[in-house]
Amino acid sequence: MAKVRVRFAPSPTGFLHIGGVRTALFNWLYARQQGGTFILRIEDTDQSRSTEESIQAILEGMQWVGLDWDEGPFRQTERMDLYRNYALMLLEKGQAYWCVCKPEELEARRKEAEAKGLSPRYDGRCRERGITRPTSEAALRFKAPQSGQTLVDDLIKGTVVFDNAVLDDVIILRSNGYPTYNFSVVVDDALMGITHVVRGDDHLTNTPRQVPIFQALGFPVPRFGHLPMILGSDKTRLSKRHGATSIMAYKDMGYLPEAMINYLARLGWSYGDQELFTREELIRKFSWDHVQKSAAVFNPDKLLWMNAEYIKTSSPERVATLLVPFLEQAGLGEQVKQASADWLAQLVVLVRERTKTLVEMVEWVKPYFGRSVTYEEEAANKFLTPTIVPVLNRLIERFSAFPRFSKTEWEQCFKQLVQEEGIKMGQLAQPVRVALTGRSASPGLFEVMEVLGRERVLWRLQQGAERAKEGQA
């Protein structure tokens, strides 16, 4: 059996979207599982729509989700001579012919066929004309089989049968010398030794057009697999109206690449009730047999839940590394540079149970940077009142006397002070929480103190007491 060789071949006409990443992922998983080769090919022959910016977006998106390729990226615009040579080879073998029909003539015939309820395919009028000296406007067409059937043993859909009588004599070389998609993809897949062509099912109708070209060129026909499309919550094709579809938009929203890969793997592929997989588990357990034949529905809430799970369970050091660019965007770059990696990881542990994205995490960790704190007015006005000043001062005095600074000592000191003052724990804890973080909600108070450290705890308590003494509205 030939060694598995698969490819992901996006067109650089926009961002790398969710559906494209899932297609790349399934190919990548199969290649890694089988010890095969994963190839990245950029299909950029559409001059009017392909852009260098889109190519970079594809590469960045692939790198972000960790789908590393073994060969490529190959660009079709660098392989033009290959396509022309193989197209002319078909011409010499009598399996292609020059067509001199003008675009306006083709359009008129198409409309006429539609008006009669017929298939709007090319009527073949140049097929037997034997044109040998074409004009500069001539295109080269492939002689498609006109009888019999083309059978596709699809990895996902099973056997699919196409009637050759309805096939078109597709253009393989345009009048400007550029190859068409259906031709260039065959030449590339053949020369790159692709064994399995797995792509979206919007390409299913292209398959019976491509199989005869493989055969005419004397190339082995690869196995095909067509993935059902991804739908939005309203069961229509996923688009911008359903939210972000660009993979990099999810990076910007604070999603972890591991969560994105896990979610997309489960979007159309099942393995019992298991939801969370390591990348190694996905490679080991993936199979085409468990890819669903019906369309998958994109659920942003499920993705958000999965991201929250990955934030909780990933190593704090890993999450801290991913968090740094978001902190820099929030204007905390200089303070991040001064912080140790261990402290940032400790900060992640402090807030990770409360956050679902890295963007949310930034908001939770902001109060822990810098010496002073910015108060939420409502929280400060409610809890930092003149009546709490004496208690805060006693707390500062006792904390200052501690030879060491530990959670055990803080808890003991709190309990003693609450008992002495005849107040409830919340009556002390909430003013202290606001003094330390500027907010009325935070993780565990003693964990907050541990992250802030002795110097900042004492400073912020003193600042809190000053604010409470003012009693300002």
d(CA 48, CA 46): 6
- Cis amide leading into 73 (omega within 30): yes
* 197 phi/psi in degrees, rounded to 5: -100, 105
Q: Provide the strand spans (E) within 43-131.
A: 71-75, 96-99
Mapped onto helix, strand or coil, the DSSP state of residue 190 is helix
User: Which residue(s) pair with 96 in the sheet?
Assistant: 142
For the beta sheet containing 171-173, the strands, ordered from the edge strand earlier in sequence to the opposite edge, are 96-99, 139-142, 171-173
Structure tokens belonging to residue 181: 């998609």
Cβ–Cβ < 8 Å for 413, 395: yes
Structure tokens belonging to residue 193: 């030794």
- 400 to each of 54, 138, 433, how far by Cα in Å? 58, 90, 18
Q: What angle do CA 141, 145, 150 make, to 5 degrees?
A: 120
Residue 305 DSSP symbol: H
382 is catalytic: no
- Residue 177, phi-psi category: left (phi > 0), alpha (psi -120 to 50), beta (remainder): left
Residue 96 DSSP symbol: E
d(CA 462, CA 68): 53
Concatenating the DSSP letter of every residue in 385-430 gives -GGGHHHHHHHHHHHHH-SS--HHHHHHHHHHHHHHHT--HHHHHH
Catalytic residue among 93, 102, 111, 240: 240
Tell which residue, 240, 201, 304, has the closest CA to residue 18. 240
Tell which residue, 142, 186, 181, has the closest CA to residue 164. 142
Tell which residue, 13, 86, 91, has the closest CA to residue 46. 13
Residue 268 DSSP symbol: S
Neighbours of 428 (CB within 10 A): 20
Identity of the residue numbered 21: V
Tell which residue, 35, 64, 464, has the closest CA to residue 284. 35
Q: What residues act catalytically? A: 240
